[in-house]
Amino acid sequence: MPQDQGKKRFDRLTLLAASERRYPKSPDEAKLECFDNLYSGRDYVIEFDCPEFTSLCPVTGQPDFGHIVLRYVPDKLCIESKSLKLYLYSFRNFPTFHEEVVNTVLDAVVSACSPRRAEVVGRFRPRGGISINVKAAMGGKIDE
């Protein structure tokens, strides 16, 4: 691949090389960035495992802790991992229910990169003696 063409692939990426330290205050303020998928002619699975997810209960304001796993089959674009980290961090002080978190993340990924298939699983730590696990998918099952 010519060097100029390789550089153009990354033109959309503003967060990766930036030393920006301000974190987005909400998912609406956060930005998922993408880069070109060089292997768009084949199906393969990308998995992001985020075991330290936090958000706030919208009723009590207490922190909720969870484990988010994003799996997707990319099409033309791939999600850049630093932008995903900042996007997920934006939930830290954001009041939302677990079901909303998982569906919001899925919607953001689909909007950003239009994957062939995607799924988001949230496994939330118990509060009041009950754990909540949520899975949302788009485009069908992703085989292991």
Active site residues: 57, 64
What are phi and psi for residue 4, nearest 5 degrees?
-60, -40
Cβ–Cβ < 8 Å for 73, 143: no
Cα dihedral: 74, 77, 81, 84 (round 10) = -90
Cβ–Cβ < 8 Å for 120, 83: no
Of the candidates 32, 45, 35, 112, the one whose C-alpha atom is nearest the C-alpha of residue 74 is: 45
Two tokens at 15?
């967060």
